[in-house]
Amino acid sequence: MALQRYLLKRSHEAGEKLRPLLFRSFSSIAAPALHPFDYAPNAYNAPTLPSFDYSPKAYKGPLGDEILQKRKKYLGPSMFHFYQKPLNIVEGKMQYLFDENGRRYLDAFAGIVTVSCGHCHPEVVNAIVEQSKLLQHATTIYLHHAIADFAEALASKMPGNLKVVYFVNSGSEANDLAMLMARLYSGNLGMISLRNGYHGGSSGTLGLTALSTWKYSIPEGEIHHVMNPDPYRGVFGSDATSYAKDLQDHIDFGTSGKVAGFIAETIQGVGGAVELAPGYLKLVYDIVRKAGGVCIADEVQSGFGRTGSHYWGFETQGVLPDIVTMAKGIGNGLPLGAVVTTPEIAKVLAEKIQFNTFGGNPVCSAGGLAVLRVLDKEKRQAHCADVGLHLIERLRALQQKHDIIGNVRGRGLMVGVEFVTDKKEKTPAKAETTVLFEKLRELGVLIGKGGLHGNVFRIKPPMCFTKDDADFVVDAMDYAMSKL
Ligand SMILES: Cc1ncc(COP(=O)(O)O)c(C=O)c1O
């Protein structure tokens, strides 16, 4: 038996060594439905990727080591990468990614990054290409139908009087603009955001981002970070009233009773897929409005039907914000963001100059409009509800089996799995999470990692992720945890 295992291991290692050579030499040959390099190491009955009828194109570009050297030489040292040996990803197709050797990975994280409909969705790609062939311009100074069509379509997705759209190029820009609007409209300076929240990397949004202010102690105007209504780790559990009281105290004692606005992700993404205590937003929106402020929902990660139950994350809390910000999935990979607000708030900005060279450019607008169309046509919200339910059920069953899983949470395809070494103390299993993270990559799953302690798996795949994919993620986690 030992000899058999040894031989299997050696044959796998030999196969791994041959794989790059084989792929780079023969990848132009038509491949069968199941690509021979799809499979994760299977010598010890490791789970295998669901089949996928696609062969990546031959990659002839520079390899990872060379790219890494160039990055180190020419790019900022603050740039970080995932994995001890970083991946050189060269192609994407729907919910899958391919590395330089043609190996396929299930992308369980792209939704957090940028992709909603799936990598290189043909309809979105086509819209971008066709518009690029015709015109790309900073065209808000001239007329162009793409920006108007996209704004109309986006406004049709918004409830209430949220009907005025501004296009920008990223989530940080969207939140910067929202904060500016809040301050101009209210005439106040103080902003309130949640601890454990993330709102961007610009100098303005870093102040809102309590997660980063642990690292950046640069004052960014008047910003108050209130207690996070985290049902798992928060001191008040799911008691929304007590967390709301903390916010009220900040207003009463920290801002002399007046604020410009309050911003929160409706489900925290970078912070580890944290859903806010039920009822929290309703309570604090009331408090903030009484103090003269406006309420901003950051939907950069939670919007566009990802939660399954609702199109927007804020709807899960039954509230209507004054300003909504979005980015990432809105463009399926394009640099695109948006702010949607009411005509009343927009009026204040009209008294100033507001200009963004590429905000709403024809190519991004055409792509963004195609994204909205595809999400509707392919019924992705309902799909997220269905697949998300299955995923969460399977993860909860896994939690019964492995003590290291402290918490499974989320909605639709925005899911978090928190690892702890002690369930009662909720001690973050930081080192173990890192080991599991690397192990999953070996098995063919690219997942996200987050939370203040880096002990949460964030599962937020493109919305075309299937139940088979969900099963593969859970089986791979089960396998990896059993080897811990
Ligand atoms: C909730 C949220 N808001 C804003 C941002 C900032 O977006 P960007 O990186 O596009 O500036 C992010 C990025 O991770 C985010 O997760």
Quick one: which atom of ligand 1 is closest to the CA of 175?
4
pLDDT at 21 over 50: no
pTM over 0.75: yes
In angstroms, what is the span from residue 8 Cα to ligand 1's centroid? 45
What pLDDT, on a 0 to 100 scale, did the predictor assign at position 211? Answer: 66
175 lines ligand 1 (CB under 6 A): yes
Q: What is the mean pLDDT of the chain?
A: 90
Mutation choice for ligand 1 from 168, 175, 275, 300, CB with most ligand atoms inside 8 A: 300
Q: Say if residue 4's pLDDT is above 60.
A: no
Task: Say which DSSP state 94 is in.
Answer: B
Nearest CA to ligand 1 atom 3: 199
Could you identify the atom of ligand 1 that is nearest to the CA of residue 200? 6
Q: Name the residue with higher pLDDT: 351 or 447.
A: 447
**SS3 state at 467:** helix
| 38 against 29, higher pLDDT | 38
User: In this predicted structure, what is the pLDDT of residue 16?
Assistant: 40
Cβ–ligand 1 contact at 268 (below 6 Å): no
Ligand 1 within 6 A of CB of 171: yes
Cross-strand pairs, 411 = 414
Q: What is the pLDDT of residue 254?
A: 83
User: How many whole angstroms from 308 Cα to the centroid of ligand 1?
Assistant: 21
Tokens for 41, please give them: 């190491």
121 CA distance to ligand 1 middle (Å): 22
The response to whether residue 334 sits with its C-beta less than 6 Å from ligand 1 reads no
Q: Is the CB of 170 under 6 A from ligand 1?
A: yes
Kindly report, residue by residue over 91-137, the tens digit of the pLDDT. Answer: 999 999 999 999 999 999 986 667 789 999 999 999 999 999 999 99
Say what the pLDDT of residue 138 is. 81
User: Which of 172, 265, 312, 324 for a ligand 1 pocket mutation test, highest count of atoms within 8 Å of Cβ?
Assistant: 172
Q: Is the CB of 269 under 6 A from ligand 1?
A: yes
Q: Is the pLDDT of residue 398 over 60?
A: yes
Tell whether ligand 1 has an atom less than 6 A from the beta carbon of residue 324. no
Average pLDDT over residues 398-411: 98
Whether 209 lines ligand 1, by a CB cut-off of 6 Å, is no
CA of 47 from ligand 1 middle (Å) equals: 33
Ligand 1 lined by 460 (C-beta under 6 Å): no
Give a three-class secondary structure readout of the chain: CHHHHHHHHHHHHHHHHHHHHHHHHHCCCCCCCCCCCCCCCCCCCCCCCCCCCCCCCCCCCCCHHHHHHHHHHHCCCCCCCCCCCCCCEEEEEECEEEECCCCEEEECCHHHHCCCCCECCHHHHHHHHHHHHHCCCCHHHCCCHHHHHHHHHHHHCCCCCCCEEEEECCHHHHHHHHHHHHHHHHCCCCEEEECCCCCCCCHHHHHHCHHHHCCCCCCCCCEEEECCCCCCCCCCCCCHHHHHHHHHHHHHHHCCCCCCEEEEECEECCCCCEECCCCHHHHHHHHHHHCCCEEEEECCCCCCCCCCCCCCHHHHHCCCCCEEEECHHHHCCCCCEEEEECHHHHHHHHCCCCCCCCCCCHHHHHHHHHHHHHHHHCCHHHHHHHHHHHHHHHHHHHHHHCCCEEEEEEECCEEEEEEEEECCCCEECHHHHHHHHHHHHHHCEECEEECCCCCEEEECCCCCCCHHHHHHHHHHHHHHHHCC
CA nearest to 360, candidates 139, 153, 142, 179: 139
> Which two structure tokens, joined as six digits, stand for 220?
């960014």
Better pLDDT: 45 or 398: 398
Indicate whether residue 199 lines ligand 1 (CB < 6 A).
yes
Ligand 1: atom nearest CA of 270 is 16
Q: Which atom of ligand 1 is nearest to the CA of 337?
A: 10
Q: Quick check: CB of 265 below 6 Å from ligand 1?
A: yes
Evaluate whether 460 touches 448 at the Cβ level (below 8 Å): yes
Verify whether ligand 1 is closer than 6 Å to residue 301 (CB atom): yes
Q: Which structural domains are found in the chain, ordered by start?
A: 2-119+380-482 (3.90.1150.10), 122-377 (3.40.640.10)
Whether the predicted pLDDT of 28 surpasses 60: no
Identify the residue whose C-alpha is closest to ligand 1 atom 4. Answer: 199
On whether the CB atoms of residues 287 and 301 are closer than 8 A, the answer is no
Does the beta carbon of 336 lie inside 6 Å of ligand 1? no
Residue 465's closest CA among 445, 479, 480, 435? 445
**Who wins on pLDDT, 85 or 41?**
85
pLDDT at 38 over 70: no
Spatial separation of the C-alpha atoms in residues 470 and 447, rounded to whole Å? 12
Is residue 186 exposed (0-12), middle (13-18) or buried (19+ Cβ within 10 Å)? buried
Contact (CB, 8 A) for 197 and 210: yes
